[in-house]
């Protein structure tokens, strides 16, 4: 499936960060973040959630990889000590619709970065990659599969 260029908006995000290898431990981060969102009345109506990979595991030692579980918030939210606030700059992203399991997501990211995958006229940009979990996000209890958009930062070639 070809990558689709999308413009992601600037957003103010509440987030929790994990430092360490990407993988099964991210499920625990998302569970903790989901409880925090419920306690702070951020889960109704159901929002989009965002997962920001701040480091490329092909270039960064696994123990130093950072991942943020995020939700968009308005000005004035006080997060306490459990979560922090960041401004997401938005911009152009090459996006792929992913449906699969946690163990399969790494291969999907890697395939997006293979030569020739980014549409002509675009190149990878030095901004974090982001996963977008739409409002109807759900994990299939039988298979563990879930849908999301994998979005790689891009810029026009010169």
- CA angle (1, 102, 108) in 5-degree steps: 25
Instruction: Tell me the pLDDT band of 34, cut-offs 50, 70 and 90.
Output: very high
pLDDT at 1: 64
Which residue in 38, 32, 21 sits closest to 102, CA to CA? 21
Read off the tokens for 116. 């020739």
Instruction: Give per-residue pLDDT as tens, 49-106.
Output: 999 999 888 889 999 999 999 999 987 777 778 899 999 999 999 999 999 998 899 8
Mean pLDDT of 5-9: 95
6: three-class secondary structure by DSSP: strand
């Amino acid at each position: 499936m070809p990558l689709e260029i999308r413009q992601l908006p600037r957003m103010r995000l509440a987030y929790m960060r994990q430092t360490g290898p990407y993988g099964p431990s991210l499920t625990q981060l998302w569970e903790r973040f989901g409880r925090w969102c419920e306690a702070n009345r951020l889960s109704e109506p159901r929002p989009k959630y965002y997962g920001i990979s701040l480091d490329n595991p092909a270039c960064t030692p696994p123990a130093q990889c950072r991942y943020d579980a995020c939700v968009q918030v308005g000005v004035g939210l006080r997060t306490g000590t459990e979560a922090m606030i960041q401004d997401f700059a938005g911009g152009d992203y090459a996006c792929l619709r992913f449906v699969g399991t946690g163990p399969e997501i790494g291969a999907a990211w890697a395939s997006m970065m293979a030569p020739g995958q980014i549409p002509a006229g675009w190149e990878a940009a030095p901004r974090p990659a982001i996963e977008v979990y739409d409002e109807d996000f759900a994990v299939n209890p039988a298979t563990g599969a879930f849908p999301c958009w994998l979005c790689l930062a891009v810029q026009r070639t010169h």
